[in-house]
Amino acid sequence: MKNGARRTWHLRLYVAGQTPKSIAALANLKRLCEEHLAGRYRIEIVDLQKQPQLARRDEIVVIPTLVRQLPPPIRKIIGDLSNQQKVLVALDVLPGEPEA
């Protein structure tokens, strides 16, 4: 990684109220970030029940949807993020990546 530790991860999680899948997704995401991106991530939660107009603007169909806003390019991951390995690969967070 060229920019090394300076690279921050901006992750946006779309949910619809406090459903079990939404709660699970947030918990899974937090755990994953703490394990692999500690200090280098920011999670934004968008509740479509409160902001329904964002579903169209951000092209959301499936709940939960995780969008990697940064670093580019934008990546979309759907589901409750229980399959951690898939999430890591999709987010391009290589497990065991050296912190340096």
Partner 1 sequence: MISRRKRAPQRRSGNGRHPLAKAPTGIPGLDEITNGGLPRGRPTLVCGGAGCGKTLLAMEFLVRGALEYGEPGVFMSFEETEADLVENARSLGFPLKRLASRRRLLLDHVRLERTELTEAGEYDLEGLFIRLGHAIDSIHAKRVVLDTIELLFSGLSDRLTVRAELARLFRWLKTKRVTAIVTGERDGDHLTRHGLEEYVSDCVIVLDQRVMEQSATRRLRILKYRGSAHGGNEMPFLIDDHGVSVLPITSLGLVHQVSTAHVSTGVAGLDAMFAKKGYFRGNSVLASGTAGTGKSSVAAHFAEATCRRGERCLYFAFEESASQIARNMRSIGVDLEPWIRRDLLRVHAQRPTALGLEAHLVAMHRVIEEYQPRVVVVDPVTNMIAVGSETEVKAMLARLIDFMKLRQITALFTSLTEGGRAAERTDLGVSSLMDVWMLLGNQEANGERNRTIQVVKARGMAHSNQVREFVMTDAGIKLVDVSRRVDGSVAIGSARGAEQRQGPARDPKPSRGGRRKGE
Contacts with partner 1, residue ranges (CB under 8 A):
14, 16, 19, 21, 24-25, 28, 48-49, 52-53, 55-56, 59-65, 75-84, 86-87, 89-90
Amino acid residing at 84: Q
Q: Which of 42, 25, 40, 39 is nearest to 87 (CA)?
A: 25
Smallest gap from Cβ 100 to partner 1, in A, equals 28
**In Å, how far from its chain's centre is CA 25?**
9
Quote the CA–CA distance of 50 and 25 in Å, as a whole number: 18
**Closer Cβ to partner 1, 49 or 69, answer by number:** 49
Smallest gap from Cβ 91 to partner 1, in A, equals 9
Smallest gap from Cβ 17 to partner 1, in A, equals 8
**Closer Cβ to partner 1, 71 or 79, answer by number:** 79
Q: Which of 10, 25, 31 is nearest to 75 (CA)?
A: 10
